[in-house]
Amino acid sequence: MVDYYYRKQITSDVSDARLEFRYRCKDGSVKWAEQNTRIVRIEESNVIEYRSILHNITQRKQAALELEIAKEKAEESDRLKSAFLANMSHEIRTPMNGILGFAELLKEPKLDGNLQREYIEIIEKSGMRMLNIINDIIDISKIESGQMKVVNSETNLNEEVEYIYKFFKPEVEKKGVQLNCTMSLPGKDALILTDRDKIYSILMNLVKNAIKFTQSGSIDFGYRIKDEFIEFFVKDTGTGIPPDKIRVIFERFRQGSEMHNRNYEGAGLGLAISKAFTEMLGGKIWAESTPGRGSMFYFTIPFVKSEISDKETTESTAKSFEKVKLSDLKILVAEDDIISDLLITKAVRSLSKNILHAKTGLEAISLLKENPDIDLVLMDIRMPDLDGYETTRQIRTFNQEVIIIAQTAYGLVGDKEKAIEAGCNDYVSKPINQALLLNTINKYSYKQSTKNL
When pLDDT is cut at 50, 70 and 90, the band that residue 318 belongs to is: very low
318-452 shares the fold of 77-144? no
pLDDT of residue 321: 36
Q: Tell me which CATH code domain 318-452 carries.
A: 3.40.50.2300
CATH number of this structure's domain 2-56: 2.10.70
* pTM for the model: 0.60
**Residue ranges per domain, the chain?**
2-56, 77-144, 153-302, 318-452
CA Rg, the chain, in Å?
32
- pLDDT tens-place string over residues 322-376: 444 455 789 999 998 888 888 889 888 888 878 999 999 999 999 999 999 999 9
Which residue, 404, 160, 136, is CA-closest to 268?
136
What count of Cα atoms within 13 Å lies in the side-chain half-sphere of residue 252?
16
CB 2, CB 39: distance < 8 Å: no
Task: Determine the pLDDT at residue 393.
Answer: 94
Q: Class assignment of domain 77-144?
A: mainly alpha
Per-residue model confidence (pLDDT) at position 177:
94
Of the options 3.30.565.10, 3.40.190.10, 3.40.1190.20, 2.60.40.10, the CATH number for the domain spanning 153-302: 3.30.565.10
Is residue 29 predicted with pLDDT exceeding 50?
Answer: yes
Contact (Cβ atoms closer than 8 angstroms) between residue 200 and residue 160: yes
Q: Per residue, what are the HEC states of the chain?
A: CHHHHHHHHCCCCEEEEEEEEEEECCCCCEEEEEEEEEEEEECCCCEEEEEEEEEECHHHHHHHHHHHHHHHHHHHHHHHHHHHHHHHHHHHHHHHHHHHHHHHHCCCCCCCHHHHHHHHHHHHHHHHHHHHHHHHHHHHHHHHCCCCCCCCEEEEHHHHHHHHHHHHHHHHHHCCCEEEEECCCCHHHHEEEECHHHHHHHHHHHHHHHHHHCCCCEEEEEEEEECCEEEEEEEECCCCCCCCCCCCCCCCCCCCCCCCCCCCCCCCCHHHHHHHHHHHCCCCEEEEEECCCEEEEEEEEECCECCCCCHHHHHHHHHCEEECCHHHCEEEEECCCHHHHHHHHHHHHHHCCEEEEECCHHHHHHHHHHCCCCCEEEEECCCCCCCHHHHHHHHHCCCCCCEEEEEECCCCCCHHHHHHHHCCCEEEECCCCHHHHHHHHHHCCEEEHHHHC
pLDDT tens sequence across 121-170: 888 888 887 887 887 877 877 887 787 888 888 899 999 999 899 888 98
**Confidence class of residue 113 from pLDDT cuts 50, 70 and 90?**
confident
Where residue 69 falls among pLDDT bands split at 50, 70, 90? Answer: confident
- Distance, CA of 334 to CA of 452 (rounded, Å): 25
| pLDDT attached to residue 255 | 53
CA distances (Å), 329 to each of 19, 110, 211, in order?
A: 89, 38, 42
Residue environment code for 366-376, b if the CB has 16+ CB neighbours within 10 A, otherwise e: ebbeeeeebbb
